[in-house]
């Protein structure tokens, strides 16, 4: 198939998917927000009639005692809970199975996901396996492969980046193949999201920066793609504005509650935007660098973002110029191309000032072809990007990322 035919195929597929998305349920999670909001969650759970829940988190958060106030309120509301804290930074199929067995073995009725993107992904995929006990994770990879109601999911983010509390996606690593399985289905979307800035006050600067740039990547990729709605455009603009206004403040002053709260809301808005409008090649490459080398997802997105935006060139100038205005850059009298390039340059400046590297030392030449194949398998024909990328172009970008 020549390039023009392949591009036509991709665009047709994307058009069909955009039309199909219009008939799905896009109800957003109910928000519980503000300082101390996590202590209000158990009362909501009680009012819904649940008295036994699975809490999915990681050992780091348990060691920080970040869940203690929630545990206390669960007990005060006579809600039994069992904790799965074995989630790894890129949750594995084994993590999912362990969490599922804990849920079923203890008669749980609902799931609380507490943490960053990894506990969220683990909890969602756990719910999918509970709903589909005879279907293994790799068989649910792709679009609309769950299609059965999962246990009610309550999401408590402790980073302002993944937006997973607003999305229908879960990503699970397969350690045997070094692949990531992306599962996308509206049934995975949490019913409640708790945005409590106090939970993020202790985030180290590096986690603050990389998760914040992860959220920016969500907003940008959603906005420049071809599957937007009026709502996703608005949410992406709001997220972009809030990230540019607050991320570096949160990075420099981690105890700034207002900046932390604004970043949580920005991450949520970006999540709402991309769960309907999709992401793009930044994520496709980042997922596969994560699967191959264990590179944290937020860090991968932060580093890759400006390179992919450079690649899009004039196909994205108009939309990036609009985001440059939203971000508050000094764009008076500039053309769309100039504004777009200013926006990309500002991303690079932010990365540098927050000590995010420009390249990766982990990438090996021998792996590049396979990484590109896997990234394009994820990205094409699904992601409604401004310009369709081929294998040679993907390889060239990955090479640019090598230290």
User: What would the pLDDT profile of 139-190 be if each residue is shown by its tens digit?
Assistant: 999 889 999 999 999 999 999 999 999 999 998 988 888 888 889 999 999 9
Has residue 1 got a pLDDT over 80? no
First to last CA, the chain: 34
- Domains of the chain plus CATH, in order, are 3-21+202-400 (1.20.1090.10), 34-200 (3.40.50.1970)
User: What would the pLDDT profile of 251-305 be if each residue is shown by its tens digit?
Assistant: 999 999 999 999 999 999 999 999 999 999 999 999 999 989 989 999 999 999 9
User: What would the pLDDT profile of 94-103 be if each residue is shown by its tens digit?
Assistant: 999 999 999 9
Average pLDDT score over residue span 32-45 = 98
The overall average pLDDT reported for the chain is 96
* Confidence category of residue 367, pLDDT binned at 50, 70, 90: very high
**CA–CA distance, 68 with 356 (Å, rounded to integer):** 32
Listed as own residue / partner, the contacts of 172-176 with beta carbons closer than 8 Å and 24 or more positions apart are: 172/91, 172/92, 172/93, 172/95, 172/96, 172/121, 172/122, 172/125, 172/137, 173/88, 173/90, 173/91, 173/92, 173/93, 173/290, 173/291, 174/92, 174/93, 174/137, 174/138, 174/291, 175/92, 175/93, 175/94
Has residue 345 got a pLDDT over 80? yes
Give percent of the chain above pLDDT 90. 93
pLDDT of 52: 98
Give the CA diameter of the chain.
Answer: 64
Has residue 197 got a pLDDT over 90? yes
Q: Let me know how long the chain is.
A: 403
Query: What's the pTM value of the predicted model, to 2 decimals?
Result: 0.95
């Amino acid at each position: 198939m020549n390039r023009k035919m392949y591009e036509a195929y991709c665009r047709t597929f994307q058009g069909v998917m955009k039309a199909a998305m219009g008939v799905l349920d896009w109800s957003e999670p109910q928000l519980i927000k503000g300082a101390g909001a996590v202590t209000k969650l158990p009362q909501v759970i009680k009012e819904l009639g649940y008295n036994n829940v699975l809490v999915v988190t990681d050992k780091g958060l348990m060691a920080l005692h970040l869940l203690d106030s929630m545990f206390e309120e669960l007990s005060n509301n006579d809600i039994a809970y069992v904790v799965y804290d074995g989630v790894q930074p890129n949750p594995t199929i084994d993590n999912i199975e362990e969490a599922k067995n804990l849920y079923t073995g203890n008669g749980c009725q609902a799931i609380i996901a507490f943490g960053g993107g990894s506990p969220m992904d683990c909890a969602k995929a756990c719910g999918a396996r509970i709903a589909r006990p005879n279907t293994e994770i790799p068989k649910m990879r792709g679009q609309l492969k769950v299609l059965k109601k999962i246990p009610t999911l309550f999401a408590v983010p402790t980073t302002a980046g993944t937006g997973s509390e607003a999305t229908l996606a879960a990503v699970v690593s397969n350690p045997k193949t070094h692949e990531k399985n992306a599962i996308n289905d509206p049934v995975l979307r949490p019913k409640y999201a708790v945005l409590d800035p106090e939970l993020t006050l202790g985030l180290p600067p590096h986690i603050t920066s990389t998760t914040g740039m992860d959220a920016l990547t969500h907003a940008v990729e959603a906005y420049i793609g071809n599957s937007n709605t009026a709502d996703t455009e608005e949410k992406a603009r709001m997220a972009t504005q809030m990230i540019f206004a607050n991320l570096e403040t949160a990075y420099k002053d981690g105890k700034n509650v207002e900046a932390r709260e604004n970043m949580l809301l920005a991450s949520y808005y970006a999540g709402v935007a991309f769960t309907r409008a999709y992401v793009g090649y930044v994520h496709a490459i980042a997922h596969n660098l994560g699967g191959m080398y264990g590179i944290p997802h937020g860090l991968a997105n932060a580093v890759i973002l400006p390179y992919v935006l450079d690649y899009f060139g004039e196909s994205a100038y108009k939309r990036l110029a609009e985001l440059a205005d939203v971000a508050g850059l000094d764009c008076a009298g500039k053309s769309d191309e100039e504004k777009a390039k200013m926006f990309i340059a500002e991303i690079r400046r932010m990365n540098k000032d927050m000590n995010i590297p420009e390249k990766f030392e982990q990438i090996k030449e021998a792996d590049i072809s396979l990484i590109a194949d896997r990234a394009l398998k994820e990205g094409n024909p699904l992601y409604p990007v401004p310009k369709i990328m081929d294998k040679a172009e993907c390889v060239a970008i990955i090479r640019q990322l090598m230290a």
